[in-house]
Amino acid sequence: MNVEHWIGGERVPSAGRFEDRSPIDGSVLAHVARGGPEEAALAVRAATGAFPAWARTSREERARLLHAVADAIERRAGELAMLETTDNGALLRSHLRSVMPRVAHNFRFFADWLLELDHAAFDTRGHANHVSWDPAGVAVLITPWNAPLMLATWKIAPALAAGNTVVLKPAEWSPLTASLLGDITAEAGLPDGVFNVVQGHGTEVGPPLSGHPGVRRISFTGSVATARAIAAAAAPNLTPLSLELGGKSPLLVFADADLDLAADLAAEQYDNAGQVCLAAVRLLVEESVSAAFLERFLARAATLRQGDPRDAETDIGPQIHPRQFGKIDGFVRRAVAAGATPVLGGGPNPDLGGLYYQPTLLTGVKPGSEILTEEVFGPVLTLQTFAHEEEAVTMANSTDYGLAATVVTGSPSRARRVSGRLVAGTVWVNCFFVRDLRAPFGGARRSGVGREGGNWSFDFYCDVKNTVSAPWEK
């Protein structure tokens, strides 16, 4: 199968192509158009041309078209789910049950939110203030491979709802669903050029997109290193950036916690083979209950089945790519060489081979070592103990990241106290991964800049304008 760019409502090929392989068995899925400066410029031109008419389209009509996109996603949810699973190795079961419905919901939510967006109005000494949200222009969206369509549509839906036109650059390890989204938007009736997809390697097509002077917004989800490159490319134009980056989130288990719940929440961190930015990979457990917690956790983890992500019984699939697999193994090997003990897993799955890495838990990790401070982005958790609340908070806040944190406790007052002191964009108390699009989502410290969700998304994608009118003569 050949996959092309989607520019101006048409499939556009490139002279070069790259191979897209399935993490399930390494088979070649597609030969994908390999974009560069020329395709970046073409896509920005198409989006720029489509912008004035789309920006002038009434809110009601934009909302109707976004609902039509959601309808088309729902119609093709099975196809999208299988494509995504084959391409990035995440569970088909999750794609069918929760991910694709949420992808459609992303469009419905921002379509409805748009209709409710208030134009604030107030009076200053007889002068009328009128605050409006004007679309900014062309938005470049650059997204990762761990939840390709989910993360892309969090950005696409509010950007389009706000009246911007979009150029999406999906990750080169998972280009397929973005390509199908091109067809879906056309099927739903979106005008040509409103939504565009440029495929290619980040280092080749990323800089000409990020550095393009005609681009008014850049929203990026991915690693800190890439965020720095994008920020540098965007700096000459001062293009506003939204950055959703990595994490090294903690899960704090206090002695008063429901330990079964704590064990369940900890085992949930192996979801998507640990390739989740929010994953609470540092288990911090109060000393007095650490043995009891560990026993429950290991019993829970023993029930997880690793295997083909298309199989409904599978809980943990493969890692996305040999490079990511090698990176994870390197982290674990170095931690073990430095004295850590793998009490669970600790290497590739010998029964499955390929890109299947065993769910791993390390104890005895050295304070300050890389396994505690750097993002592994795989099924690797560490367990440390703390003596009291103060120490727990200090340990939780001891990395450069601040994406999320989970607190497991039976005490509401402790939950309030501790969550108030955690450096994190999201804190979950006795739960994990509950996400509402009305809520702000983003990270503190190096986990990101800005917030997505509700009005935070519209604030980013719009030029917010205040018009002040003197009283009219009677």
Shortest separation between residue 150's beta carbon and ligand NAD, angstroms: 9
Asked if 295 is an active-site residue, the reply is no
What gap in Å lies between CA 135 and CA 216, rounded to an integer?
10
Contacting ligand NAD within 423-452 (CB under 6 A): 443, 448
Contacting ligand NAD within 229-288 (CB under 6 A): 229-230, 244-247, 277
Given 35, 144, 402, 450, the residue binding ligand NAD (CB under 6 A): 144
SS3 188: helix
Residues 6+ away with beta carbon under 8 Å from 295:
none
- With binding defined as CB under 6 A, does residue 39 bind ligand NAD? no
Shortest separation between residue 435's beta carbon and ligand NAD, angstroms: 10
- With binding defined as CB under 6 A, does residue 23 bind ligand NAD? no
Identify any residues that bridge with 133 across adjacent strands, giving them in sequence order.
464
Shortest separation between residue 42's beta carbon and ligand NAD, angstroms: 17
CB closer to ligand NAD, 65 vs 138 = 138
- With binding defined as CB under 6 A, does residue 375 bind ligand NAD? yes
Given 101, 187, 192, 223, the residue binding ligand NAD (CB under 6 A): 223
Report the relative pairing of strands 127-135 and 462-469 from DSSP bridges.
antiparallel
Q: How many CA atoms lie within 13 Å of 139's alpha carbon, on the beta-carbon side?
A: 30
Which among 22-30, 91-99, 138-146, 282-290 is the span making contact with ligand NAD, rule CB under 6 A?
Answer: 138-146
Asked whether 140 and 215 are in contact (CB, 8 A), the reply is: yes
CB closer to ligand NAD, 35 vs 137 = 35
Q: Which of 365, 294, 353, 354 is CA-nearest to residue 322?
A: 354
Residue 205 CB coordination number (10 Å):
27
- With binding defined as CB under 6 A, does residue 135 bind ligand NAD? no
Which among 49-57, 76-84, 143-151, 327-335 is the span making contact with ligand NAD, rule CB under 6 A?
Answer: 143-151
Given 207, 240, 345, 450, the residue binding ligand NAD (CB under 6 A): 207
- With binding defined as CB under 6 A, does residue 20 bind ligand NAD? no
What gap in Å lies between CA 251 and CA 277, rounded to an integer?
14
Asked whether 459 and 131 are in contact (CB, 8 A), the reply is: no
Q: What is the DSSP letter of 97?
A: I
- With binding defined as CB under 6 A, does residue 35 bind ligand NAD? no
What gap in Å lies between CA 13 and CA 34, rounded to an integer?
8
Shortest separation between residue 144's beta carbon and ligand NAD, angstroms: 3
Shortest separation between residue 196's beta carbon and ligand NAD, angstroms: 15
Structure tokens at 287: 């000393």
- With binding defined as CB under 6 A, does residue 108 bind ligand NAD? no
Shortest separation between residue 173's beta carbon and ligand NAD, angstroms: 7
- With binding defined as CB under 6 A, does residue 317 bind ligand NAD? no
Report the relative pairing of strands 341-344 and 280-286 from DSSP bridges.
unpaired
- With binding defined as CB under 6 A, does residue 167 bind ligand NAD? no
Structure tokens at 27: 């088979």
Which among 5-13, 72-80, 215-223, 405-413 is the span making contact with ligand NAD, rule CB under 6 A?
Answer: 215-223
Return the ∠ at Cα 156 (arms to 153 and 158), rounded to 5°: 105
Residue with tokens 């084959």: 86
CB closer to ligand NAD, 35 vs 163 = 35
Structure tokens at 5: 């760019």
CB closer to ligand NAD, 158 vs 207 = 207
Count, residues near ligand NAD per rule CB under 6 A: 30
Structure tokens at 168: 């999406």
- With binding defined as CB under 6 A, does residue 158 bind ligand NAD? no
What gap in Å lies between CA 132 and CA 121, rounded to an integer?
9
CB closer to ligand NAD, 171 vs 294 = 171
Shortest separation between residue 171's beta carbon and ligand NAD, angstroms: 4
Given 89, 135, 202, 208, the residue binding ligand NAD (CB under 6 A): 202
Sign, CA torsion 410/412/413/416? positive
Which among 226-234, 266-274, 281-289, 311-319 is the span making contact with ligand NAD, rule CB under 6 A?
Answer: 226-234
Residue 320 CB coordination number (10 Å):
27
How is 281-300 classified by DSSP, letter by letter? EEEEEEGGGHHHHHHHHHHH
Catalytic residue among 4, 39, 244, 452: 244
- With binding defined as CB under 6 A, does residue 379 bind ligand NAD? no
- With binding defined as CB under 6 A, does residue 151 bind ligand NAD? yes
Residue with tokens 């003990």: 341
SS3 266: helix
CB closer to ligand NAD, 141 vs 262 = 141
Sign, CA torsion 21/27/33/37? positive
Shortest separation between residue 448's beta carbon and ligand NAD, angstroms: 6
- With binding defined as CB under 6 A, does residue 153 bind ligand NAD? no
Strands (E), 96-233: 121-124, 127-135, 138-142, 165-169, 195-197, 215-221
What gap in Å lies between CA 85 and CA 147, rounded to an integer?
10
In the complex, which residues of this chain contact ligand NAD (CB under 6 A)? 142-146, 151, 169, 171-172, 202-203, 206-207, 210, 221-223, 226, 229-230, 244-247, 277, 375, 377, 403, 443, 448
List residues with catalytic annotation.
Answer: 244
